[in-house]
Amino acid sequence: MTAIVEINNLTKMYKNKRGIHEVNMTVQQGDIYGFFGPNGAGKTTVMKIMTGLARPQQGQVKLFGYDVSTQYEQAMSKVGVLIETAEAFTFMSGRKNLELAARFYPGIDKQRVDEVLEIVGLTPFQREKVAGYSLGMKQRLGLAAAMLSKPELLILDEPTNGLDIEGMVQIREIILRLAREERITFLISSHLIHEMELMCNRMGIIHQGRLVREGLISELAKGSASLEEAYLREITEVRRLAAHA
Ligand SMILES: Nc1ncnc2c1ncn2[C@@H]1O[C@H](COP(=O)(O)OP(=O)(O)OP(=O)(O)O)[C@@H](O)[C@H]1O
């Protein structure tokens, strides 16, 4: 197995003493890795450091074997990112937004814009202004933008956050298809455990800034009626140990 993402000992504490502490994670090629934790657990902080949007106080992130802090361009060359809600110019069409984003990458032509619109199911709405898009359509446009450079790894922060059931299903189906047909590796954060169960093969659980468990979902759920029950049991144990520390 090839490790696409290697996170070692990552620490970033904000002035308010919150943040992340000595996080270790590995994403293997072909994984749909679920990065799971409640609001405020530290998911966005890890993802921002991974993509160079924030600096750690300690530790290291390697993407495709390259260190994000010292070999940024090589590390990010095969990575697509969607962190927090997708931003777009609402007065422009979906297509125009993608054409604008494509200018940041050398060698991306109009044909690729057609391809990514097709992948996310926005071809029929490409000429409409983004102002008229639903939240689900905006998220799919963000996914299309992240796909422009033909990435081999997609890092998605809460891609289904705030979406209705139909919107969630659409995003999930796109992710599963891309993993299957284009062999894209995914790192996806969510605070919805059911989403993780439906989409991911492996999962890391972050709790109050610490990665408390990582493994195959099938193994994490073993011996429990559901993944949710397994998670609650894990967290109860973490709290019990913390109380006795
Ligand atoms: N810029 C900041 N300054 C101070 N504290 C911060 C800052 N960014 C995040 N935090 C705190 O660090 C902790 C981790 O936040 P983070 O956004 O990484 O969590 P998260 O798991 O992504 O949660 P959410 O799902 O709510 O986005 C939280 O307690 C948050 O309040």
- Asked whether residue 36 falls in the same domain as residue 139, the answer is no
What element of type H or E holds 195? helix 193-199
Does residue 224 belong to any structural domain of this protein? no
Instruction: Give the pLDDT confidence score for residue 86 in this predicted structure.
Output: 63
Confidence (pLDDT) at 34:
97
Same domain, 146 and 156: no
132 found inside a domain: yes
What pLDDT shows up at residue 122? 96
Q: Are residues 68 and 160 in the same domain?
A: yes
Domain boundary among 105, 130, 150: 150
In this structure, are 70 and 184 located in the same domain? yes
Judgement on whether residues 176 and 188 belong to the same structural domain of the protein: yes
Residues 127 and 94 in one domain: yes
What is the sign of the dihedral through the CA atoms of 80, 182, 158 and 170?
Answer: positive
pLDDT value of residue 213? 93
> Separation of 46 CA from ligand 1 center, angstroms?
10
Domain CATH number, residue 2: 3.40.50.300
19 in the same domain as 69: yes
Residues spanned by the domain of 103: 87-150
Q: Is residue 32 part of a domain?
A: yes
CB 35 within 8 A of CB 63: no
Q: Do the Cβ atoms of 158 and 84 come closer than 8 Å?
A: yes
Domain for residue 46, yes or no?
yes
pLDDT at site 200: 96
Cα 45 to averaged position of ligand 1 atoms, centre (Å): 6
* Ligand 1-lining residues (CB < 6 angstroms): 14, 16, 18-19, 37, 39-45, 191
112 plus 161 within the same structural domain: no
Domain total in the chain: 2
CA distances from 144 to 13, 58, 62, 151, 182 (A): 33, 33, 25, 11, 14
Per-residue pLDDT of the chain (245 residues; tens, 9 = 90+): 799 999 999 999 999 989 999 999 999 999 999 999 998 999 999 999 999 999 999 999 999 999 999 999 999 999 999 986 667 889 999 999 999 999 888 888 889 999 999 999 999 999 999 999 998 999 999 999 999 999 999 999 999 988 999 999 999 999 999 999 989 999 999 999 999 999 999 999 999 999 999 999 999 989 888 889 999 998 998 889 888 87
ipTM over 0.85: yes
**41 and 73 part of one domain:** yes
Query: Mutation test of ligand 1: which of 44, 84, 161, 196 has the most ligand atoms closer than 8 Å to its C-beta?
Result: 44
Q: How far is the CA of 181 from the centre of ligand 1 (A)?
A: 34
Phi, psi of 193 (to 5 degrees): -70, -30
Same domain as 97, residue 69: no
Centroid of ligand 1 to alpha carbon of 144 (angstroms): 26
d(CA 216, CA 218) in angstroms, rounded, equals 5
- 172 occurs within a structural domain: yes
Instruction: Please report whether residue 207 resides in a domain.
Output: yes
What is the structure's pLDDT at 215? Answer: 95
Q: Which residues have CB under 8 Å from 120's CB, separation 6+?
A: 140, 141, 143, 144, 147, 174
11, 13, 16, 23: which to mutate for ligand 1, most atoms within 8 A of CB? Answer: 16
Atom in ligand 1 nearest the alpha carbon of residue 209: 14
Nearest CA to ligand 1 atom 3: 14
At 85 the pLDDT is 62
Each residue's pLDDT tens digit, 228-241: 999 999 899 888 98
The answer as to whether 206 is a domain residue is yes
172 and 142 part of one domain: no
Are residues 60 and 8 part of one domain?
yes
pLDDT of residue 54: 93
Q: Does any domain span residue 227?
A: no
Q: What are phi and psi of 19, to 5 degrees?
A: 145, -145
Residue nearest (by alpha carbon) to ligand 1 atom 16: 42
